[in-house]
Structure 1
């Protein structure tokens, strides 16, 4: 993936993730949606930066066709990503929501469990759709020549 596509991937991922996370936290906590929205936007910004950096590094170690990645490699990918993100976001959530590190950790674990499942599904679908689109573009370009 080139930089522009990585940015598209990260933004699409985060827009969907933030929307779904705010809805989930609003249903399961007593926090105001406005406070949750601001917090999740900050967390999403951190996540987008981490997503770009992490996936670039990950792809340097695990090359090859992404659709050929095994289930265990996909699980490893998403778990390692979420652990790194958790380390970065718990203190931010605690500060922004004015809660203890423990309460922020518990909230972030809930979000992380959801996002882990979401990330696994999103990336698998994205990679599969991308292959179809890349093949379609390549076929169109070969017909033009």
Structure 2
């Protein structure tokens, strides 16, 4: 993936993740929607930077076609990514929401469980749609070439 595509992937992932997370937190907590929105925007910003760095490093250790990754590797990827993200986001959530680290941990675990499932589905779909588009473009290029 190019740097531009990595940025596109991260931004698309986070926009959808933030929107769905805010909605879930509004439904399941009694915190102010504006505070939750601000919190999730900060968390998403941290996650975007972590996503870019983590994907770059992960791709170095596990090269090859992303659409050919096994489900086992995808689950490993998501769990490792989310564990690293928790390290950075729990203190931030505790501070912004003015809750204890334990309360922030449980809030973040709820978001993390949702995001883990979402990330697995999002990346599977993204990788396969990307492969389809690339294959289609290659086919269109070959069709346009006269032999």
Shorter-chain-normalised TM-score: which range?
over 0.9
1:99-130 per-residue CA deviation (whole Å, 9 max, x = no partner) reads: 11111000000000000000000000000000
Shift of 1:138: 1.4
Aligned residue pair count: 145
CA distance in 1: counterparts of 2:94 and 2:140, whole angstroms: 51
Residues 66-145 of structure 1 mapped to structure 2, 5 A cutoff: 66-145=66-145
TM-score normalised by the chain length of structure 1: 0.98
2:59 corresponds to: 59
CA-atom RMSD in angstroms: 0.8
How far 1:61 moved relative to its partner? 0.6
TM-score (norm 2): 0.96
Which residues of structure 2 form unaligned runs of 5+? none
Indicate the SS of the match to 1:93: helix
Runs (5+) with no aligned partner, structure 1: none
Q: CA deviation at 1:142?
A: 2.4
Name the structure 2 match of 1:45: 45
